Structure 1
Amino acid sequence: MSGLLLALLTFLAFTSAAAKPNAGLKTWGRFRKLPYPGDKAFLYDTFPDDFIWAVGTAAYQVEGAFEKDGKGLSIWDTFTRGGNRMATGDVGSDSYHNSQADIRAIGQLGVSHYRFSLSWSRIFPNGTRGSHNEMGTNYYRDLIKKLKDIRVQPVVTLYHWDLPDHLQQTLGGWSNPEMVGIFKDYADFCFQTFGDDVKYWITIDNPFVVALHGYGTGVVAPGIKNDPDLPFRVGHILLKAHAAVWHLYDRLYRPRQQGQLSMALASHWIKPSRTRLESLRECQCSLDHVLGWFARPLFTDGDYPPCMKERLGSRLPSFTPEERAQVNGTADFFALSHGAALSFQLVNDSLKFGQQEELDLRMLLYWINAEYDKPPVFVVQSGWSVLGNTKTEDPKHMYYLKRFIAEALKSIIIDGVNVIGYTAWSLIDGFEWHREYGIRRGLYYVDFNTLDMKREPKTSATFYRNIIQRNGFPELPENRPAQGIFPCDFAWGVSANSIQVETTPSQFSDPSVYLWNISNNGELIRLEGITAPPLRRTTHCADYATIRQQVDEIRQVGVNHFHFSLNWSAVVPSGDVAHPNSTLLGYYRCFTRQLLQANVTPVVTLWHHTRQRSSLPPPLDTANKWLNRETPEAFADYARLCYRELGAHVKMWITLNEPNDEMVGYQEGHQMLRAHALAWHAYDREFRHSQGGKVSLNLHMDWVEPAFSFSREDVEPAKRVLDFRVGWFAEPIFGSGDYPVGMRSWLRQLNSLELPVFNEEDRQLVKGTYDFFAISHFSTELVTHAKEDSYTYRAMLEVQHMIDTTWIMSPRPVVPWGLRKALNWVREHYCDVPVYVMANGVQEDPARFKDSLRVYYLYNYINEALKGETTNTHICCGAFFILMHCSQEQHVVITALVHCVINPLAGIEVFPLGLCMA
């Protein structure tokens, strides 16, 4: 049997057993059906024991020494000297002279593999064997030996974009079919020379960029952009060159060297702009034009995707049956590159076909698994970029690394994809191709202005090392759900900014006279000009239909507390408490009484701040608002009125709700503190003995976490933000009677600002004016002192605000453990003060997810509060959830939750995520 016939028969057998064409089309539907938000939650688990942890570089980006020791010019040496380009890789990171420093960095990371590329023109200066440069070859021999000495396996790329310039000038580079034989001969030399120590080979890195942007758009070397069909001819030759090298290795070297070989393919991810089959097909076609262009010939049938053939027609070269057999199956694993530059910046809009680009490594891995019949996938390049002026603190890079690694873990554990390794890109900062030195992608910082090019580990390097040491994200005790029950007197409540007020009972408000049903249609017909005499009937609480309706809704939820706010400007429109709105006060009196009759304790806020309205009576609102020296006294008088009128039914008062808004000035805040203190003392002296209630204020307290938990330099900014946000009001009341020391010193030293001063009288007035500590908590954010994004940088506090990209968003981050840390902060600063979470909830579109996010949010946030109880610290005394216009389904969810945790029956326990199980 001839070799050609055998190849054809093998090809036919392989294609008949391969995955069904376009099998990846099911990916979007599959992920759309996964449970939300549970599937988006962070997965704590570890990678397989034999998982490959790697880091990588490319020769032109880091080696430098572009003319040293006999090296020939590459197309990048020529390209960077033309046009409007401002920088070159002549020196780069100077790895040629600093290989020992690179080895030291690799050893510090603890990786098992190091991916690097050979500079073709350093080994063969003119691209052919006849120009062999022994010094260049020795450089790579020495590098491989040093890697083996520290037990790191090399992953070697034969071609990473830096073609010998001589081949470009004399042959036209990859546009010439002669390159197939030349590349094969170069590979043959490399296999002979280095192959005994190399078990993973990459023939060509990202042929999509080489073909389209090297020979089409001209964005990268060699910068050709005259022929729109040339990229497809170049891609054709690249595939043939790869296949020739694979067969060479398979025939001559694999039996002895036992290595594996592939081509590194890069891709974006894309989602349909509309949930229609046509949009899904356009997404599939977009991936086919970028990834499938090279992957389908290698992994499926040796030919291009039908979508490309249909749309490009004769512009796309065709394979003969023999060539298809030669190309198909020439990859031992799927080598995937994924990240900022390769996956996004270098994918033209024309290749998205009207669909939306998205960053989702997990879905891409699943698509590859389905489309190409479950190949082992080695992520050979993955990472993100930061600005060129970033030094050793790169939080954005670190959190994108976390995201990509977490998605790879889910791909293995949940989706069953055979991901065998992950390569963080890159080891050190270097020349970033068309972006030159405008961005950095290294785990190690390189100062390009110094002679020794010292490598300094960035925070992303520390993070990656920790991940490798733990082999992923093992579950820690604090990540495990708590099991147990809350104390019997725990306050369960819901909150509403305001209640619906209808001060005139509707059935007694209309004096008109009607005729009913005279046409047997059940309609009322008003008699013009006739009115009934005034009704001389005392209004009763039972007359208000709106009260009955609202109280019934609250009762159905199953809570034992309800928190709502009064409207100061409506209760005392004139500002004079001698002339209040008695009707409105009567309505509030009826409302609180009806709550008590339904076994629901009312919790009433006197003043609720919003950015849309001040809620101050008009005379104060137009007279400097809280800056008016009379406002605190007026507020105390208003508080006395409310205590007197409603105190018989209200035993829990909030004076000011979330006064610590960042839009509030320090002078305003000072006045608010005095107003709260006067209102508290008024209750304490005049009403507490007879009414027995409690009074405090409620502070907004989203948690602030250091972006680098292992860096002292970020712990201080997080503390600073909490001082300014929470300590601003908390410390004068619950602590020293003055503003936080750090807050005063920061403003004085860095901003030449002074906080208002408490005289001794005011200090004694404000300090200790609390009966409990009340907070509103919804989310968590990260802060760092490293400036990366001017939009989220706060110059006054010198902090950068950011989020962990693995967090669930809606639209703010859902971070349950932030509540526990907030509660711990209160306990650590103010000892055993009782704490109530007065507002907690999440924004969601219930029509989209059927309230599933709110269910997840409540279960997990409550579980974090429960952790304080199960450790016997008794941090939290109550929790209130935002009550909006809930659907019946939402009522059922909250009711079931509250019944589960506050009314445990015999044989029922609270299990992880708050689930009740018999």
Structure 2
Amino acid sequence: MKNYQNTFPENFLWGAATAACQIEGAYDLDGKGLSVADVAMRFTKDVARAERKNISLEQVLQAKESRDSKKYPKRHGIDFYHHFKEDIRLCAEMGMKVFRFSISWTRLFPTGIEEIPNPKGVQFYHEVFEELAKYNLEPLVTINHFDMPLHLVLEYGGWKNRELIAFYRRYANTLFDEFGQYVNYWIAFNEINGAKFNVFFSTGTLRENTDNYGEDCYQAAHHQFLASSLIKKDLQSKYPKAKLGCMVAKFTSYPATAEPENAMQMILDEQLNNFYFTDVLVRGEYPYYASKLFHDNGIQLKMEEEDVEILKTYTVDFLAFSYYMSSVSSYDETIEKTAGNLTEMNKNPYLKSSEWGWQIDPIGLRYTLNQLYERYQIPLFIVENGIGADDCLTEDGKVHDTYRIDYLRQHIQQMKLAIEDGVDLIGYTTWSAIDLVSSGTSEMSKRYGFIYVEQDDNGNGSLKRIAKDSYYWYKNVIFSNGEDI
């Protein structure tokens, strides 16, 4: 029987997260190539999510020819490329134990098909890792975070093409060879269930020139599953003690009512939005409900004989996930929706929402941790959790983000209760360490960080870094190992 514990583990990994495509900038410097993130246009929260995510080939080609960083803000980010020493120092001074960041695939392999990595890109990341080591900051590295090479989309059709496995494997092994001595924790793909809700930026799949878009999405996911397993094989041969995890955006759902139909719908929603992906990567095989999913949607996956054995043999070591909100499941299609969440979802009338419409449910995090640990019995890592807000500088040059402190406090309380429940939770990296360009809208005004960056939606500003009130609050949380919140 597991020993009872009502405190955070002594070696708990407190930290915060970032992504290369949202912070680095310098999209056209030192040999970097274009990625899918570099063609992401800026929108406001008033623009429908479907419009933002339904990228057309024409839009991609127009963006490819453009040099406009104001229209495509992920190109300039917050200039971490030139500010990384300052940003890492600020995180270290907060007391962080772990810093989650991603590597830009196109900074090392500009088109994705090169055989030798770009030496200037390799040198940049060596400097980043050395800076982290200087402060004893544990790196948590996401290998691909919504920024695959654009060339692989236009010339290969994205991840629906099996050839991408070899390109990705070469890229991942370059990371292991160059930086493996620094890293204990790797994540293969950010929110791998993006193949269902963030298709273009996750898989490079376009709706044009396809007879079955859904089939292309699931075929792309299959190739990403295989890629994850194959690099797990490579990693354990090179660094046997290093861990590779999978990551999903967790779409936690409750039945809208006690009607049995809604309870059944909740099971189906959880399967299709979450467990389909984690079942394959954690358990090493396609779940029983996949056959009905494929039958009902006319999907026929192309698989090779060795695929089944590869997936079964090389499963992940830990399960990472992002958690921002929950929703409700209902068989009634007329139920009220909210477009604020990562995807349009049914609205829970019992929850409050952020100014961007994301529903806030701290208890849902405890529920999710218990749900996932009961299902898989492997270590869990919360790698994104936070609230986007229009933070404002006061006249005295400060940011009083009490709403962020309140949001994080409530979620940390539920994490502690989940640990008391017996869940094996190894770390928590909030979203985000520092203000960055929003993933979904490419806005700057939707801020998540503990550190304010003086820059507006058009990329104008001094880029000055300013610690918010939440910075000092989280510093105390880490110092007390979650006891003083």
- 1:237 equivalent to 2:219? Answer no
Say if 1:425 and 1:441, in contact at 8 Å, map to a contact too: yes
1:149 matches 2:158: no
Structure 1 position 465 matched with structure 2 position 475: yes
Q: SS of the residue aligned with 1:339?
A: coil
Which structure has the larger Rg over C-alpha atoms?
Answer: 1
1:36-55 aligned within 5 A: 46-55=7-16
Which residues in structure 2 correspond to 1:203-602 (within 5 Å)?
203-215=188-200, 222=204, 224-226=206-208, 227-250=213-236, 252-255=237-240, 258-304=241-287, 306=289, 308-313=290-295, 314-315=298-299, 317=301, 322-328=306-312, 330-339=315-324, 345-349=341-345, 359=361, 360-372=364-376, 374-387=377-390, 392-413=399-420, 415-437=421-443, 438-448=445-455, 452-474=462-484
Shift of 1:291: 1.4
SS at match of 1:334: strand
- Measure, in 1, the Cα distance between the counterparts of 2:79 and 2:326: 23
Note if contact 1:66-1:77 (Cα within 8 Å) is conserved in structure 2: yes
Per-residue deviation at 1:309? 3.4
Q: Is the 8 A contact 2:197 2:343 kept in 1?
A: no
| Equivalent of residue 180 in structure 1, options 143, 154, 165 | 165
Which residue of the other structure, out of 171, 174, 177, is the alignment partner of 2:156?
Answer: 171
Contact persistence 2:477–2:484 (CA under 8 A): no
Residue equivalent to 2:336: none
Deviations 1:156-175 (A, max 9, x none): 11100101111111111212
Matched, 1:71 2:32: yes
Aligned partners of 1:294 and 1:304 also within 8 Å: no
User: Are residues 275 and 320 of structure 1, via their aligned partners in 2, closer, same or farther at CA, if it must alter by over 3 Å?
Assistant: farther
With normalisation by structure 1, the TM-score equals 0.43
Tell me what 2:23 maps to: 62
Give CA-to-partner distance per residue, 1:579-620, whole Å, 9 cap, x none: xxxxxxxxxxxxxxxxxxxxxxxxxxxxxxxxxxxxxxxxxx
Contact 2:379/2:426, CA 8 A, preserved across alignment? yes
Displacement of 1:288 in angstroms is: 1.4
**Structure 1 residue 90, shift from structure 2 partner:** 1.8
Contact kept in structure 2, 1:260 and 1:332, CA below 8 Å = yes
For 1:739-771, what per-residue CA distance to the aligned partner results, in whole angstroms no more than 9, with x for missing partners?
xxxxxxxxxxxxxxxxxxxxxxxxxxxxxxxxx
Matching residue's letter, 2:383: V
Aligned partners of 2:318 and 2:462: how far apart in 1? 38
Contact 1:292 / 1:305 at 8 angstroms: preserved in 2?
A: no
Are the structure 2 counterparts of residues 230 and 191 from structure 1 closer, same or farther at C-alpha, using a change threshold of 3 Å?
same
Distance 2:206 2:450 in 1: 32
* Matching residue of 1:190: 175
Cα deviation 1:335-386 (Å, max 9, x = unaligned):
1111259996223448x9xx998731110111101122x1110111111111
Give, as a single letter, the amino acid of the residue that structure 2 aligns with 1:431: V
Q: Which residue of structure 2 lines up, in the alignment, with residue 556 of structure 1?
A: none
- Paired with 2:360 and 2:292, the residues of 1 have a C-alpha distance of 25
Deviation for aligned residue 1:254: 2.6
Query: CA separation in 2, counterparts of 1:333 and 1:280?
Result: 29
Task: Tell me the C-alpha RMSD between the 2 structures.
Answer: 3.0
**SS in structure 2 opposite 1:264?**
strand
1:435 to 1:293, Cα distance in 2 relative to 1, 3 A: same
Work out whether residues 248 and 322 of structure 2, in 8 Å CA contact, stay in contact via their aligned partners in 1: yes
Return the alpha-carbon distance in structure 2 between the equivalents of residues 287 and 347 of structure 1. Answer: 14
Are the equivalent residues in 1 in contact too, given 2:251–2:326 (CA < 8 A)?
Answer: no
Report if the CA contact (8 A) 1:427-1:443 is conserved.
yes
Secondary structure, aligned partner of 1:315: coil
Query: Secondary structure, in 3 states, of the residue corresponding to 1:192?
Result: helix
CA contact (8 A) 2:132 2:138 kept: yes
Q: Is the 8 A contact 1:79 1:221 kept in 2?
A: no
Q: Is the 8 A contact 1:61 1:93 kept in 2?
A: yes
The separation in 2 between residues aligned to 1:319 and 1:417, in whole angstroms, is: 35
> Equivalent residue for 1:752?
none
What's the TM-score once normalised by structure 2's chain length? Answer: 0.80
Contact residue 185 and residue 244 of structure 2 kept, 8 A: yes
Over 3 Å counting, the alpha-carbon distance change for 1:466 and 1:316 in structure 2 is farther
Contact in 2 for aligned 1:46/1:409 (Cα 8 Å): yes
Contact (CA 8 Å) 1:213, 1:223: kept in 2 or not? no
Match of 1:119 in 2: 104
Post-superposition shift, 1:67? 0.6
Report Cα offsets for 1:421-474 as digits up to 9, x if no partner. 111111111111231114111111001156651111112222211110111125
Instruction: Read off the aligned partner of 1:151 and give its amino acid letter.
Output: N
Kindly provide the amino acid, as one letter, of the partner of residue 154 in structure 1. Answer: P
Matched residues in 1 for 2:139 and 2:326: separation?
Answer: 24
How many residues end up aligned between the 2 structures? 422
1-side partners of 2:435 and 2:207: how far apart? 29
Cα offset for 1:222?
4.8
User: 2:203, 2:220 within 8 Å by CA — same for their partners in 1?
Assistant: no
The change in CA–CA distance for 1:224 and 1:66 in structure 2 (over 3 A counts) is same
Question: Which segments of 5 or more consecutive residues in structure 1 lack a partner in the other structure?
Answer: 1-43, 476-918
User: Aligned-pair distance for 1:56?
Assistant: 1.2
Cα separation, 1, equivalents of 2:325 and 2:368: 14
**What code does the residue aligned with 2:164 have?**
M
Q: Structure 2 vs 1, CA of residues 54 and 341 (structure 1 numbering), >3 Å: closer, same or farther?
A: farther
Q: Deviations over 1:775-829 (max 9, x none)?
A: xxxxxxxxxxxxxxxxxxxxxxxxxxxxxxxxxxxxxxxxxxxxxxxxxxxxxxx
The one-letter code of the counterpart of 2:38 is: D
Query: 1:128–1:186: 8 Å Cα contact kept in structure 2?
Result: no
Give the drift of 1:262: 1.1
- Given that 1:376 and 1:418 are in contact with CA atoms closer than 8 Å, whether structure 2 keeps it comes out as yes
Could you tell me how far 1:73 is from its partner in structure 2? 1.0
Shift of 1:325: 3.0
Aligned residue type for 2:8:
F
Instruction: Quickly say closer, same or farther: Cα 1:93–1:474, change in 2 above 3 A.
Output: closer
Amino acid at match of 1:369: Y
Q: For the residues of structure 1 that align with 2:386 and 2:484, how far apart are their CA atoms?
A: 22
Residue 341 and residue 174 in structure 1: after superposition, are their counterparts in 2 closer, same or farther (change >3 A)? farther
Does the Cα contact within 8 Å between 2:391 and 2:401 map onto a contact in 1?
Answer: no
